[in-house]
Amino acid sequence: MLKIENLHAAVDGKPILKGLSLEIAPGEVHAIMGPNGSGKSTLSYVLAGREGYEVTEGSATFAGQDLLAMEPEERAVLGVFLAFQAPVELPGVGNANFLRTALNALRRAKGEAELDAMQFLKLARTRMKTLGMTDEMLKRSVNVGFSGGEKKRNEMLQMSMLQPRLALLDETDSGLDIDALKLVADAVNALRGPDFSALVITHYQRLLTHIVPDRVHVLAGGVIVRSGGPELAQELEASGYAGVQDGTPSKRSFDGSPVAA
Binding mask 125-144 for other proteins (x = CB under 8 A): ----------------x---
Binding mask 202-241 for other proteins (x = CB under 8 A): ----------------------------------------
Q: How many CA atoms lie within 13 A of 153 on its CB side?
A: 23
Position 60 contacts other proteins (CB under 8 A): no
Among 76, 166, 176, 181, binds other proteins (CB under 8 A): 76
Among 2, 24, 68, 96, binds other proteins (CB under 8 A): 96
* CA gap 133, 128 in Å, rounded: 5
State the virtual CA torsion across 68, 105, 165, 175 in degrees, nearest 10.
Answer: 90
Position 11 contacts other proteins (CB under 8 A): no
Task: Please spell the DSSP secondary structure of 151-205, one letter per residue.
Answer: HHHHHHHHHHHH--SEEEEESTTTT--HHHHHHHHHHHHHH-STT-EEEEEESSS
Q: Which is nearer to other proteins, 95 or 245 (CB)?
A: 95
Position 201 contacts other proteins (CB under 8 A): no
* CA gap 161, 142 in Å, rounded: 15
Binding part of the chain for other proteins, among 46-54, 169-177, 182-190, 216-224 by CB under 8 A, reads 46-54
Minimum distance from residue 203 beta carbon to other proteins (Å): 21
* CA gap 162, 99 in Å, rounded: 9
Q: Which is nearer to other proteins, 127 or 215 (CB)?
A: 127
Tell me which residue of 246, 195, 224 sits closest to 25, measured CA to CA: 195
CB 61 within 8 A of CB 1: no
Q: Count interface residues toward other proteins (CB under 8 A).
A: 39
Alpha-helix residue ranges (DSSP H) falling in 95-135: 95-109, 117-130
CB 253 within 8 A of CB 241: yes
Position 87 contacts other proteins (CB under 8 A): yes
The amino acid occupying position 131 is L
Binding mask 141-180 for other proteins (x = CB under 8 A): x----------------x---x------------------
Q: Where along the sequence are the contacts to other proteins (CB under 8 A)?
A: 48-52, 71-73, 75-77, 81-82, 84, 87-94, 96-98, 100-102, 104-106, 109, 114, 116-117, 120, 141, 158, 162
